[in-house]
Amino acid sequence: MHQVGLVGKPNVGKTTFFAAATLAEAKIAPYPFTTIDSNRGIAYVKVRCVCRDFGVVDNPRNSLCINGFRFVPVELIDVAGLVPGAWEGRGLGNRFLDELRRAPVLIHVVDASGSTDIEGRPISLGEHNPVEDVIFLEKEIDMWMKSILKRNWREIVRKSYKNVIEAFYEKLSGLGIARSCIEEALNNLDLAKKKLDVWNDDDILSFVRYIRGKAKPMVIAANKADLPTAEDYIRELKRKFPNLVVIPTAAAAELALRKAAKAKLIEYIPGDKDFRIIDEKKLTEKQMKALEYIRENVLKRWGSTGVQDAINAAFLKLLRMIVVFPVEDENKLTDRKGNVLPDAFLVPNSTTARDLAYLIHSELGDKYIGALDVKTKRRYPTESPLYHRQVIKILVRR
Ligand SMILES: Nc1nc2c(ncn2[C@@H]2O[C@H](COP(=O)(O)OP(=O)(O)O)[C@@H](O)[C@H]2O)c(=O)[nH]1
Ligand SMILES: [Mg+2]
Domain ranges of the chain: 3-131+218-316, 139-212, 324-396
* 206-219 residues labelled b (16+ CB within 10 A) or e (exposed): bbbbbbbbbbbbbb
Which atom of ligand 1 sits closest to the CA of residue 305? 27
**What pLDDT is attached to residue 86?**
66
Q: Is 181 in the pocket of ligand 1 (CB under 6 A)?
A: no
- In this structure, are residues 13 and 248 in contact, taking their beta carbons and an 8 Å threshold? no
Average pLDDT value for residue range 210-236? 96
CB atoms within 10 A of CB 176: 15
16 Cα: distance to centroid of ligand 2 (angstroms): 7
* Closest residue by Cα to residue 15 from 206, 185, 252: 252
Residue 210 and residue 213: Cα distance in Å, rounded? Answer: 5
- In this structure, are residues 105 and 95 in contact, taking their beta carbons and an 8 Å threshold? no
pLDDT band at 38 (very low <50, low <70, confident <90, very high): low
What are the tens digits of pLDDT across the range 51-103?
Answer: 999 999 999 999 999 999 999 999 999 887 777 776 666 655 566 667 777 78
DSSP secondary structure string, 286-326? Answer: HHHHHHHHHIIIIIHHHSS-SHHHHHHIIIIIIS-EEEEEE
Reported pTM: 0.93
- In this structure, are residues 265 and 282 in contact, taking their beta carbons and an 8 Å threshold? yes
- In this structure, are residues 378 and 372 in contact, taking their beta carbons and an 8 Å threshold? yes
Average pLDDT value for residue range 161-174? 92
pLDDT for residue 28 is more than 80: no
pLDDT for residue 30 is more than 60: no
> Which residue puts its alpha carbon closest to atom 3 of ligand 1?
224
Region of 359 please: left (phi>0), alpha (psi -120 to 50) or beta. Answer: alpha
What are the tens digits of pLDDT across the range 381-397?
Answer: 999 999 999 999 999 99
H/E segment holding residue 357: helix 353-360
Average pLDDT value for residue range 225-247? 97
38 Cα: distance to centroid of ligand 1 (angstroms): 17
> Which residue puts its alpha carbon closest to atom 12 of ligand 1?
11
Q: Is 22 in the pocket of ligand 1 (CB under 6 A)?
A: no
The bound ligand whose nearest atom lies closest to the alpha carbon of 109 is: 1
* Closest residue by Cα to residue 274 from 251, 252, 294: 294
- Domains 139-212 and 324-396 agree in fold: no
The share of the chain scoring above pLDDT 70, in percent, equals: 93
* Closest residue by Cα to residue 338 from 149, 143, 61: 61
Domain 139-212 has CATH 1.10.8.470: yes
- Calculate the CA dihedral of residues 150, 151, 157, 158 and round it to 10 degrees: 170
Architecture of domain 3-131+218-316: 3-Layer(aba) Sandwich (3.40)
pLDDT for residue 27 is more than 70: no
81 Cα: distance to centroid of ligand 2 (angstroms): 6
DSSP secondary structure string, 69-95? Answer: EEEEEEEEEEPPP--TTGGGT-TTHHH
**What pLDDT is attached to residue 35?**
44
pLDDT band at 34 (very low <50, low <70, confident <90, very high): very low
**What pLDDT is attached to residue 144?**
85
**What pLDDT is attached to residue 32?**
42
223 Cα: distance to centroid of ligand 1 (angstroms): 8
Query: Mean of the per-residue pLDDT values for the chain?
Result: 92
pLDDT for residue 302 is more than 80: yes
CATH topology of domain 324-396: Ubiquitin-like (UB roll) (3.10.20)
Residue 210 and residue 212: Cα distance in Å, rounded? Answer: 6
Chain centre distance of CA 72: 12
Q: Is 252 in the pocket of ligand 1 (CB under 6 A)?
A: yes
Burial of 291 (0-12, 13-18, 19+ CB in 10 A): buried
DSSP 8-state code for residue 20:
H
